[in-house]
Amino acid sequence: MYKLICGANPMQLRKVVLTLTVILATSTTATAQQFASFYGTTVDVFDGDTITIRLSEQSRQAFQRFLTPTEFRTGRVRVQLQGIDTPQRRRNDPYWSHSRNYLARLLGNQTVNVQVLVGRLGQLNRNYDMMVGVVRAGRNGRAVNLQMIDAGWAKDDAYNSFGNPYIQAQWQAMNRRRGIWGDREQYVAENEFRIRLYGTDREYGRIKTMPYPSEGRTSGEAVVYKSKTPFRRGVGKVDWQK
């Protein structure tokens, strides 16, 4: 490459630069990822980010290869809402019941769509016995994960983040003192954490952004599809204000 560029004429150089620019732009802004999209009905809400659903029969049959024997036999799967952090029931965190109750109201007894990242080896993204993904409910198909942050009953998971608009939604919820942010102690602790997170290279380097599935899969059938997921940059220290 060094000899080629040194001996190239201006037109060749422009072509090389253009090619490199396209490659870099493609590799850093959008990557095709596989997601599994399936359907079911909510049968239990454990806390603000953990639910159990009963799979539709079509989803159960179509996704047998992704399910454990118990999941396939019972038709029930546990799902953790990805990209958010909520008060934990197991730790008896303050406001865990408020968070759970709000999630239960969002889901009701309606059909939900779950979208889970498929790994390179063909396995679903899991956290122990739970599938981890984006949950959608209702006619608008808006991510329940994001709605929990909007309402102030969840926060962006900085180390497993979907970036914007999730981070921006939390910023707005905090400014409006929604949900847990009405508690001054919770607000101050989180605000100081975010300022440190976005304000220092050491902390910022720990942020991990995750691929995000396409908006709304409304066919009603279980499918595996590819989605180009652009990098979703979060807000910085200047934007994170008290």
For the chain, count helices (H), then strands (E).
9, 9
Relative orientation angle of helices 184-199 and 166-175, to the nearest 10 degrees? 140
SS3 call for 34: strand
> What is each CA distance from 67 to 31, 61, 74, 210, 212, in whole angstroms?
26, 10, 11, 23, 22
> Cα–Cα distance between 86 and 94 in angstroms, integer?
10
By DSSP bridging, strand 126-127 and strand 155-156 are unpaired
Q: Which CATH number do you get for residue 197?
A: 2.40.50.90
239 occurs within a structural domain = no
154 occurs within a structural domain = yes
242 occurs within a structural domain = no
How do the pLDDT tens digits run along the chain, 242 residues long? 333 334 445 444 343 333 323 322 333 345 678 999 999 999 999 999 999 999 999 999 999 999 999 999 999 999 999 999 999 998 989 999 999 999 999 998 889 999 999 998 889 999 989 999 999 998 778 899 999 999 999 999 988 899 888 999 999 999 999 999 999 999 999 998 888 887 766 666 677 888 888 775 556 778 888 876 655 555 555 556 44
Total of domains in the chain: 1
Candidates 204, 143, 152, 202; CA nearest to 173 is 152
19 occurs within a structural domain = yes
13 occurs within a structural domain = yes
Is the Cβ–Cβ distance between 108 and 83 less than 8 Å?
no
237 occurs within a structural domain = no
209 occurs within a structural domain = yes
205 occurs within a structural domain = yes
The whole domain housing 212 covers 2-230
Candidates 172, 161, 156; CA nearest to 241 is 172
Q: How many other C-beta atoms lie within 10 A of the C-beta of residue 90?
A: 9
pTM above 0.75, yes or no: yes
